[in-house]
Amino acid sequence: MFFPSTHECPHCGAELRLRTLEFKDRPVFAGCEPCSCDGAAKERMEAERAEAERGRRDAELARRRAYEKAGIAPRFEAASHAMAAECADCVRDGANLYVCGGVGTGKTTLAAAVSRILVDQGLSVRFTAMWKILDAMKRGFDEGRSPLPAYQKAEVLVLDDLGKESPTDFALERIFALVDERYGRLLPTVVTTQYSRQDIGRRLAKNGDKDTAQAIVSRLLQDCRTVELCGGDRRLR
């Protein structure tokens, strides 16, 4: 096979030496020696910039996929919150987090922002709502498999809007199975809810067994940091 020994720089016309590599005992063309002219330097810089841009886009895409896999809705995939970093530190150290406040105070935004930080740090996070778990369990029951273990074993579980629906006895038992397993495994759970620490037990027991509701609450509130969101006033305790 014939290879020319030089190549003309398209920018300045200089003769550049070709580089060849041996591949299976044959010479393979491997580009030319770089030219030192301005045009060639600019072309190299632009290629590097394009490569970096591709890298950034790939990383961004990978991050979005990781958020999606964690259950963070597209609406919240860019969520940020002034208290997120501090809360994420607590959760990473194993503390439960109880985020309470009225509608529109940013509970879900905070929980999503905390989740994003933990996903970025490589933790397995499941962001969901209790009704979604119960719904998935109903479907799983038909298909002969339970989705519960995945939620029981995730390094961090976020239960968004707990108490929005008052659970039935069956649902309460499932919630207990979830919370109790995580408690035993020392895995932190983040809860967002409209209900205060004092009221959540009553709310969960509205249509179900009071003792089960109380057992759930006692596990969730053990080793737990609380964030009360009420408009502009935010506190972490």
How distant, in Å, are the alpha carbons of 26, 108, 213 from that of 192?
A: 65, 7, 16
Min. distance of Cβ 27 from Zn ion in angstroms?
Answer: 24
Q: The dihedral of CA 218, 72, 109, 102: what is its sign?
A: negative
Q: What CA–CA distance (Å, rounded) separates 74 from 12? A: 50
Region near Zn ion per CB under 5 A, out of 40-48, 121-129, 164-172, 205-213: 40-48
Task: Give the nearer residue to Zn ion in terms of CB position, either 40 or 205.
Answer: 40
Please report whether residue 100 would count as binding Zn ion according to CB under 5 A: no
Contact 187, 155 (CB under 8 A): yes
Q: Which is nearer to Zn ion, 13 or 74 (CB)?
A: 13
In this complex, which beta carbon is closest to Zn ion, that of residue 6 or of residue 222?
A: 6
Q: Binding to Zn ion by residue 35, rule CB under 5 A?
A: yes
- For tokens 């249509």, the residue is 207
Residue 37 or residue 136: which is nearer to Zn ion going by CB? 37
Contacts 24+ apart (CB under 8 A), 5-8: 7/32
Interface with Zn ion (CB under 5 A), residue total: 7
Please name the helix (run of DSSP H) or strand (run of DSSP E) that holds residue 92, with its range, or none: helix 84-92
Q: CB-wise, 35 or 216, nearer to Zn ion?
A: 35
Window of 33-41, 86-94, 135-143, 180-188 that interacts with Zn ion by CB under 5 A:
33-41
Q: What's the CA gap between 113 and 146, in Å, rounded? A: 28
Q: How far is CA 6 from CA 25, 28, 114, 153, 200, in A?
A: 21, 14, 57, 62, 78
Among 18, 32, 33, 37, binds Zn ion (CB under 5 A): 37
Reading the block at residue 89, the tokens are 């530190």
With CA atoms as reference, report the closest residue to 189 among 99, 109, 75: 99
| Residue 7 binds Zn ion, judged by CB under 5 A | no
Residue from 5, 6, 7, 11 that binds Zn ion (CB under 5 A)? Answer: 11
Give the span between the Cα atoms of 222 and 185, in whole angstroms. 14
Query: Which residue, 43 or 161, is less far from Zn ion as judged by CB?
Result: 43
Identify residues 13-32 at the interface with Zn ion (CB under 5 A).
14
Of 3, 6, 8, 12, the residue at the interface with Zn ion (CB under 5 A) is: 12
Residue 15 C-beta: closest distance to Zn ion, Å: 10
Residues found near Zn ion in the complex (CB under 5 A): 9, 11-12, 14, 35, 37, 40
